Amino acid sequence: MKKDFLTIRDFTREEILGTFKLAAEMKAHAQNYSSALKGKTLAMIFEKPSLRTRVTFDVGIQQLGGFSVCLLPMEISLGKRESVHDVAKNLERMVQGIMIRTFAHQIVVEMAKHASVPVINALTDYSHPCQAMADYLTIQEVKGELKGLKLCFVGDGNNVAHSLMFAGARLGVHVTVACPKGYEPNPTAFQSALEDAKQTGAQIEVVHDAMEGVKNADVIYTDVWASMGQESETEKRKAIFHPFQVNKQLMAKANAGAIFMHCLPAHRGDEVTDEVIDSPASVVFQEAENRLHAQKAVMYQLMK
Ligand code: CP
Ligand code: NVA
């Protein structure tokens, strides 16, 4: 296993499946792991807002017998008040793991390079691996077997879409990204997913029509149209992305029994309607809870 968890591609297929197994075990028998990371401390660096990530890492490390220290943007001012290198060299002497949510992916790469302790990516502009880990754990809980399923990500080819492609490629889940022209996944991310998919036969594709994308899909997934850092584009994007709203009509084009997923926070009435997110097909809160279990399994494996 690698020292860090910076992208899903840092874990092999076996390591991902092993993480699901451990997460399921921790979910069923949390008390058996109450000393698993006894006395260890996780530093949580946030350069963007958060609800789920903040709470699940904080509660997760405590449930494993450890502690957390939360650092907000004003506190360390990463790269401005102090270089990433120097932050890494300080923290490695004080804590046993570093979780970081930031803008440029290069920052987590640099932190991991300089810190002797594990670094966990808790979202960058490029990827959100902890989210994808919890998402496929959720799909496995609901659907059983993962291999051969089809997931359609409807919306912006963003960080969440990238991680879903990477994990789909590793797990044999076909991933279609249905997005407006000009909002495709990053070409490097797409090529990496195609490369990894050769091992499992997963089909990874991009289409520009939502109705076409969700055909034969078992999972319909969406995310906000403007990610953190893109707030100034919100109004412009609303017009462009409107045909990609996940509503009842779109859900009806997917396979019978298809589930709805969203990493949250959701902008109800934009990328998803209330009737979809509040429908029995929606597993969004199970998905949110699974951030806790999946990340406990990740932390345990890296920090034990
Ligand atoms: N899904 C997710 O990462 O949520 P937060 O931004 O609230 O952490
Ligand atoms: N794509 C979203 C995900 C939030 C969890 C963002 O980066 O803001």
Q: How far is the CA of 35 from the centre of ligand 2 (A)?
A: 32
Integer Cα distance of 121 and 234 in angstroms: 25
Cα–Cα nearest to 298, from 95, 11, 9? 11
Tokens 């405590």 -> residue: 62
Give the tens place of pLDDT for each residue, 114-124: 999 999 999 99
What percent of the chain has pLDDT above 90? 97
Query: Is there a single domain that holds both residue 159 and residue 280?
Result: yes
Query: Does a structural domain hold residue 298?
Result: yes
Give the tens place of pLDDT for each residue, 188-245: 999 999 999 999 999 999 999 999 999 999 999 999 999 999 999 999 999 999 999 9
Query: Does a structural domain hold residue 3?
Result: no
Query: Is there a single domain that holds both residue 178 and residue 258?
Result: yes
Provide residues with CB under 6 Å of ligand 1: 50-53, 123, 131, 263-265
Q: Which residues pair with 262 in a beta bridge?
A: 222
List of residues 6+ apart from 17 with CB closer than 8 A: 171
Query: Does a structural domain hold residue 208?
Result: yes
Query: Is there a single domain that holds both residue 268 and residue 297?
Result: no
pTM for the model: 0.98
Ligand nearest to the CA of 158: 2
Query: Is there a single domain that holds both residue 116 and residue 136?
Result: no
Cα–Cα nearest to 216, from 184, 183, 175? 175
Question: For position 106, which CATH number holds?
Answer: 3.40.50.1370
- Domain containing 181 equals 131-287
**Ligand 2, residues 46, 48, 123: which to mutate, most atoms within 8 A of Cβ?**
123
Query: Does a structural domain hold residue 1?
Result: no
Q: How far is the CA of 193 from the centre of ligand 2 (A)?
A: 20
At residue 130, the pLDDT reads: 98
What the block records as the tokens of 232 is 């100034």
Query: Is there a single domain that holds both residue 184 and residue 249?
Result: yes
Query: What residue owns the CA closest to ligand 1's atom 6?
Result: 50
- Label residue 99 left, alpha or beta by phi (over 0 means left) and psi (-120 to 50 means alpha): beta
Query: Is there a single domain that holds both residue 140 and residue 248?
Result: yes
Ligand nearest to the CA of 159: 2
State if residue 222 touches ligand 2 by the CB under 6 angstroms criterion: no
Q: Which residues pair with 221 in a beta bridge?
A: 153, 261
Q: How far is the CA of 199 from the centre of ligand 1 (A)?
A: 30
Q: How far is the CA of 83 from the centre of ligand 1 (A)?
A: 26
Query: Does a structural domain hold residue 175?
Result: yes
Query: Is there a single domain that holds both residue 27 and residue 117?
Result: yes
Give the tens place of pLDDT for each residue, 169-179: 999 999 999 99
Omega prior to 243 cis, within 30 of 0: no
Query: Is there a single domain that holds both residue 30 and residue 160?
Result: no
Integer Cα distance of 281 and 29 in angstroms: 27
Amino acid identity of residue 33, one-letter, is: Y
Integer Cα distance of 243 and 278 in angstroms: 20
Number of domains present in the structure of the chain = 2
List of residues 6+ apart from 285 with CB closer than 8 A: none
Query: Does a structural domain hold residue 101?
Result: yes
At residue 77, the pLDDT reads: 86
Query: Is there a single domain that holds both residue 157 and residue 34?
Result: no
Q: What is the DSSP letter of 242?
A: G
Query: Does a structural domain hold residue 2?
Result: no
Query: Is there a single domain that holds both residue 32 and residue 121?
Result: yes
Average pLDDT, the chain: 98
Element (H or E) spanning 91, and its range? helix 84-91
Contact assessment for residue 128 and residue 262, using Cβ atoms and an 8 Å cutoff: no
Query: Does a structural domain hold residue 145?
Result: yes
Query: Is there a single domain that holds both residue 123 and residue 139?
Result: no
At residue 74, the pLDDT reads: 86
Ligand nearest to the CA of 267: 2
Query: Is there a single domain that holds both residue 154 and residue 279?
Result: yes
Integer Cα distance of 129 and 116 in angstroms: 21
**Ligand 1, residues 44, 46, 123, 158: which to mutate, most atoms within 8 A of Cβ?**
123
